Amino acid sequence: MSTFYTDDHEWVRVTGDHAVVGITRHAADQLGDVVFVELRAAGERFAKSDEIGVIESVKAASPIYAPVAGEVIQTNQAVVDVTSILNDDPEATGWLYKIKLADVAELDGLMDADAYAALIA
């Protein structure tokens, strides 16, 4: 399993041609208390950089952008029902989507953990 990051503060954990997508701890901390999450439904397809959801906090509403193209296999209904999960554990139980990647080569444009750490430093 490999983990990649975007400069929009999403993470992507990849196994083969499947991935789990979420927001980083940094993003969750910047948002503050999350009060609403809207996610696309399973079966929907999207292109890289498409808006694939919205997270609203007490501070602002922030779009979630697709780090890579693919198809939603599963959404995490738990974060929709109990939004505080995103604040408590955004990089584990607070995942947003499980997706099937359309093009594994798109991962080459994402950052590794060291590059992401440097970005937020």
Domains and CATH numbers, the chain: 2-120 (2.40.50.100)
Q: What's the pLDDT at 1?
A: 77
Distance CA 17, CA 30 (A): 30
Confidence of residue 47 (pLDDT cuts 50, 70, 90): very high
CB neighbours (10 Å) of residue 59? 12
- In the predicted model, is pLDDT for residue 79 greater than 90? yes
Under the banding of pLDDT at 50, 70 and 90, the label for residue 119 is: very high
Question: For 81-112, what is each residue's pLDDT tens digit?
Answer: 999 999 999 999 999 999 999 999 999 999 99
- Spatial distance between the Cα atoms of 87 and 42, rounded to a whole number of angstroms: 24
- Quick one: pLDDT at residue 68? 96
- Provide the whole-model pTM: 0.93
